[in-house]
Structure 1
């Protein structure tokens, strides 16, 4: 959830058509429809937890059918041992499987995104990503932190060198009035 410059947007709605999680929930039948009937599909259902009870119920619509948020209830090694597949082969197969599922999910109506860039929230994300990248040795996190930092410095800096509080669609918002009054 970033803008083109790499700054992080503030939020995404939980609901689509007044149903919480609607864009992200699955059913075993829908996964079968996307992937087809096969032993591999049965493995996918087990890997992503769709072989057990649904794990999400819209709290605002208790009578609506429950759904499944894809998750991995077992470690990779536990799953591959129980399924009788090799870990490297399973991971390779998951690449195309996940692409198919994502393509299907992206065709659904998507939740609204609040595209405000909040300086304080971006600062927290930058710090977390930089630290994660350092600890995990993963430059993707450090790079994302660097892009967001650069975006804030380029787009949200005021004449005094400070940072403004927010930006939306490329337009920066000034500091809140109370802070200006404290000067």
Structure 2
């Protein structure tokens, strides 16, 4: 039996899912999403046990939920150290290298989050265009701040909205440029 692989899988999955919840909370607050939406309520209740105590040390700045970002950085650093210890790595990297790694990971996570949110919104526009569906409403609220400026520059052509395509290309460009 490969117990080390099983623990590594379990640790990575649990931490990654909670990081996703914290990033969702950060983005929902950043875009001023409807917090009465059932999906938003789930995210708030799932993230409050970590964020409420952390907010006493790190208050929010306007729409920026700094506590959520710091919690994500701590989780990424902790996960990396635990995975290195489980793998039996002889020496651990210095703390400064871990912070830089976690900041780069955070940028990648945010860009991936936004990429998949736009992609989901495109698919939802084909399948379930009901704007009153809680999931559809959240996807619109998350992606509209990025897609609206592009839509102003590039209006619909023949009934087609090409703004998602431009946004997806822009996100991919940023990922290659900065995370290469």
TM-score by length of structure 2 reads 0.28
Which one has the bigger strand percentage?
1
Whose Rg is larger? 1
Structure with the larger helix share: 2
Q: State the TM-score, normalized to the length of structure 1.
A: 0.28
